[in-house]
Amino acid sequence: MKVYLPSPLYSYTGGKSLVEARGDTIREVLAALDAQYPGMAFRMVDEVGHLRRHIRIFVDERPEEDLDTKVQDPMVLHIVAALSGG
Amino acid sequence: MNASAKHKLRVPRPKSGVVRILVGTRKGAFVIKSDRERKAWKVDKVWMLGHTVHHVVSDPRESGTILMAARTGHLGPTIFRSTDSGKTFTEASKPPAFEPAAEGLSQRTVNHTFWLTPGTDQEAGVWWAGTSPQGLFKSRDGGRTWKPVRGFNNHPMLDQWTGGEKDGTPDGPKLHSINIDPRDPDHVYIGMSGGGVFESTNGGRSWEPLNRGCAADFMPMENPEYGHDPHCMVMARTNPDRLWQQNHCGIYRMDREEGVWQRVGKAMPKAVGDVGFPIVVSPFDPDSAWVFPMDGTSVWPRTSPGGAPSVYHTADAGKSWKRQDRGMPSEHAYWTVKRQCMAHDEHDPLGVYLGTSQGEIWGSINEGRTWKVLARNLPHVYSVEVLGIQP
C-alpha cells in the first residue's frame, strides 16, 4: 500500500515522501517500512509498541491510534509529524 | 575496590595545532574550529540542524569517527554515526531501547540518549551510552547496533536506586558520566541523576553504590547508600583511581583506595558556594581541575552566582580554589553551563572550553587565566567536547 511520510523521515528514504509497504495491520506496515529502512520504526513507535507522542497516523483520511487496525489496498497510510513546536 | 591493571596506562602527550570543538545544542550540532595558534575561531560546520543533540563525541581510537545522540521534536531517539569526519551521517539500525522489564521492575522507554563514551583503546568499536530515564547500553560495532547492559537495566534494586521519574532533572532522570578504566575495560563507573555513583568491576554484570562520604541533604535519611545527585563525575587520565565529582551537594574528590568522597568544595568562597554542573580534570595532572559554580540557593536559579560568571581552578587536589574570570562579564550575566558543557584539549598550556544555555562558547588557551568568547548566537548548548579527546 502507499505510505506518505513526513519530512523528518526523509533522511531514511533519500528524500522520498511516498513509499510502498505491505502489511495487514498498521503495525505490520511499519515493520515492513523498518525492514526497508532500518531504524525508522523506532523513531515512530517506542519499545513497548506505543506510537510516539507527536506522531499521528491516518488510514485514508481517518485518524487511527490503534496500530493493530486492519489495512489493505487500496487504502493509503499518511504518517504525520504532529504540531510540537518550540 | 581497585581494578587489576590488565593494560598499561597510556598517558597523553601534549598536542599542538588546530582544535575542533564539537557542540551539541537543542537545535543541532556545530563544530567550532581554531587556527593553529588557537587564537582565531569560527563556526566551521553545522550538522543535523533542528535535531535535539545531547552529546557529540569523537572516537579517539579511530580518526574520523563521530557519534551523535539525537532526537527531534517528533521522532524518537537515535544515534547518528559518521566515519568521514562528519561529511555524512548514518543512523543506527538498532539504537538504545529497553527490553521488556524484568519481573518486579517498571517498564521504561528511552526518551533520549544522553551520554556517549567510547571504550578503551583495547576494545575497538566498543561504545557505552547512558539514557533518560536511566539505562545503560553498549555497542560492539562502532555504534551501529546497541544492546542493553542487563546487569544494570534489569538490576532488582534499580527502581530503588533511581527513585523513579520524580527524581531527575527537568528534562528527565539521566544516566551520565560513564567512565571506563583505561587499564581494565571491565571496570566501569557511572553517575545517575538521581541515583548516585555506581561501580562495576565485571563489565557491567553487577554493580555497587559508591557514594560514601557524599552528602544528599535533600533526602530525609542521613548518609543514604544511594539516591544522590552527582551532576558530573570524571576520572583523572594520569591516575584512574582519582575521581572528581561535581555533585548537587558540593565538589568532591575520591582516591579510590580510600573509597570515601572528600568534600573539597569546602575550600570554595562561601559567597560562591560549591554547587555547579560540570567538572573537568587535566589530562596531565590529576590534582588540577576546573568547575563552573552556579547559584544553588533558595529556588535554585542555576545561574552564575551574583550574575558574575567565573570558572574556579584548583591546582592542589582541591585544597584551594582560584577564581578565573578575566575576560568574562562582571555583572548581569546569568549563565547556565550544563554538566556536559565543559571540556579541555590536550595542548600545553591546556585549553579549557565551556558552552552556555544562551548559545555562547567560551574558551581559555592558558588553563583558565583569561577567557574569550569563541562563538555566539548558537542554540541552547547541551554539550561541549573536543575532537579527538577522550570525554
Is B97's CB within 8 Å of A42's CB?
yes
Question: Residues B272, B352, B177, B201: is their CA dihedral positive or negative?
Answer: negative
Look up the ipTM and state it: 0.80
- Across the range B108-121, mean pLDDT stands at 96
Do the domain assignments include residue A76? yes
B75 touches chain A (CB under 8 A): yes
pLDDT of residue A67: 96
Is B91's CB within 8 Å of A39's CB?
yes
Do the domain assignments include residue A10? yes
Is B94's CB within 8 Å of A50's CB?
no
Type of residue at B228 = H
Of A11, A38, A84, the CB nearest to B73: A84
Separation CA B368–CA B311 (nearest Å): 7
Residues of B in contact with A81 (CB under 8 A): 74-75
Is B74's CB within 8 Å of A48's CB?
no
pLDDT tens-digit readout, B124-178: 999 999 999 999 999 999 999 999 999 999 999 998 999 876 677 778 899 999 9
pLDDT tier at B319 (50, 70, 90 boundaries)? Answer: very high
pLDDT of residue A28: 97
Is B76's CB within 8 Å of A44's CB?
yes
Distance from CA of A82 to the nearest CA of B (A): 7
Give the SS3 label for residue B151.
helix
Do the domain assignments include residue A27? yes
- Across the range B207-232, mean pLDDT stands at 93
Distance from CA of B79 to the nearest CA of A (A): 10
B68: cell is 551523535
Concatenated DSSP letters of B214-238: ---TTSSSSS-SS-B-EEEEEEETT
Domain count, chain A: 1
pLDDT of residue B169: 76
pLDDT of residue B198: 98
pLDDT of residue A86: 61
Of A8, A47, A84, the CB nearest to B109: A47
pLDDT of residue B12: 83
Q: Could you tell me which of B309, B262, B315 has the C-alpha nearest to residue B288? A: B315
- Across the range B351-373, mean pLDDT stands at 98
pLDDT of residue B268: 98
B119: cell is 571504550
pLDDT tier at B101 (50, 70, 90 boundaries)? Answer: confident
Do the domain assignments include residue A12? yes
**From the CB of residue B306, how many other CB atoms can be counted at a distance below 10 Å?**
15
Do the domain assignments include residue A73? yes
pLDDT of residue B166: 67
Separation CA B258–CA B40 (nearest Å): 44
Residue A85: pLDDT above 70?
Answer: no
Hunting for cell 551521517 — which residue is that? B89
Q: What is the CATH number of the domain that holds A64?
A: 3.10.20.30
pLDDT tens-digit readout, B279-313: 999 999 999 999 999 999 888 899 999 999 999 99
Do the domain assignments include residue A31? yes
pLDDT tier at A9 (50, 70, 90 boundaries)? Answer: very high
Is A12's CB within 8 Å of B93's CB?
no
Provide long-range contacts, Cβ within 8 A and 24+ apart, for B167-170: B167/B193, B167/B194, B167/B195, B167/B227, B168/B132, B168/B133, B168/B193, B168/B194, B169/B193
pLDDT tier at B377 (50, 70, 90 boundaries)? Answer: very high
Do the domain assignments include residue A64? yes
pLDDT tens-digit readout, A22-68: 999 999 999 999 999 999 999 999 999 999 988 999 999 899 999 99
Do the domain assignments include residue A86? no
pLDDT of residue A84: 59
Separation CA B188–CA B197 (nearest Å): 11
Q: Which residue segment(s) compose the domain that A33 sits in?
A: 2-81
Type of residue at B202 = N
Of A39, A50, A86, the CB nearest to B93: A39
